Structure 1
Amino acid sequence: MPRRPLELPALTEVGRFMAVGGVSTTVAFLIFNLLLHGFNPSGDAPLSGHPITAYVIANTVGMVISYELSRSWAFRHRPPRHADGGRTAYVVINVVTMSLPVCCLWFSRSVLGLESPLADNLSANVIGLAGGLVARFYLFRRFVFHRPISLVEIYDDPEEVQSPVQL
């Protein structure tokens, strides 16, 4: 009987993905608020009045952290589908899915006229991020990190994989 590849249970993989997302989102959240709103009472911030630019910069840093943690921990049992380790597909997916929170932030600011730290964070980092998170999990598993390969798929003779490997 052919052996199935070693796979983490889906719930474990989802948990790891969420933990990686939590770390990278926290970093991006802090950078976004520092750039846009500052952390002092006077409200001086480097990108005050430029919410989209602040969001893109913060989430680019978060994306780098997310890739490294995803590759080394959350999806380490899944070989990348591409020669570059999946980096190009990862960046493309992140840029595309970043459009949802950016659109929510733009809508909140430009259409609704809400320009507070609470409105910015609710629109971009809660509403927009939730939709992007679901899309990224599916797309990463589908296009960046392939399912584990079984020994049966590597060897022509399935009988070779019936005996355990001796070290």
Structure 2
Amino acid sequence: MNQRRTVRSRLERLAREIAKFGAVGAMGFVVNLIVFNICVHGFQLAVVRSGVIATAVAIATNYVGNRYWTYRECDRSRRSRELSLFLLFSGAGLVIENGILALSHYGLGMTSSLADNIAKNVVGLGIGTVFRFWSYRTWVFRALPAREAVETAESFLATAPERAGASERA
């Protein structure tokens, strides 16, 4: 019975994580789609260049959402390492996403606006998203080790009366 609760608890946590990651990703998707189409149709840039620009803007949007919402309770002590790994794995996702666009546009000759959007924003982004989710949760936004998490919580609870008094004086 206890093991069943543990599995269920882990699955519920994973479902919440996927939902938050998906919500942040949806915002990144909208940013990506808009920037891509503005670059291609507004500025007449090449499709892969437009794709790289759009993905880079979406990566910045997604970092903020994932750091401060999806993975806000994860270890923050090594922020430069986290950001470096985030950019590394996001860059790999960028290559996946825009590699599929390049293959479709230049390799297969599918050059319509619809084909470019499907290749980049459906197929490429879908595969890139699965890769990013796995890499972010495995390597980038690591949970605090159990001992550190307990110490952090105890420290927070121990200083709660001080913080409450400070907020009352403000």
TM over 0.5: yes
Residues 76-131 of structure 1 deviation map (CA, whole Å, 9 limit, x = unaligned) = 01114734161111111011111112111111111221111110011111001111
Partners of 2:134 and 2:15 lie apart in 1 by: 14
Unpaired runs of at least 5, structure 2: 1-9, 161-170
Higher RCO (CA < 8 A, seq sep 6+): 1
Partners of 1:114 and 1:77 lie apart in 2 by: 44
Partners of 1:125 and 1:80 lie apart in 2 by: 31
Corresponding residue of 1:31: 35
Partners of 2:145 and 2:52 lie apart in 1 by: 36
Corresponding residue of 2:124: 128
Partners of 1:13 and 1:123 lie apart in 2 by: 27
Partners of 2:64 and 2:92 lie apart in 1 by: 19
Residue 16 of structure 1 and its aligned partner are, at CA, apart by 0.1
How does the TM-score come out when normalised to structure 1? 0.78
Residues 12-71 of structure 1 deviation map (CA, whole Å, 9 limit, x = unaligned) = 01100000000011111101011102xxxxxxx3134x1111011111111111001100
Aligned length: 147
Compared CA separation, residues 94 and 152, structure 1 to 2 (3 A): closer
- 138, 145, 161: which one aligns with 1:142: 138
SS across alignment from 1:9: helix
How does the TM-score come out when normalised to structure 2? 0.77
Deviation above 2 Å: which 4+ runs of structure 1? 80-83, 148-155
Unpaired runs of at least 5, structure 1: 1-6, 38-44, 156-160
Root-mean-square deviation (Å): 2.5
Q: Sequence identity of aligned pairs in percent?
A: 26
Corresponding residue of 2:43: 46
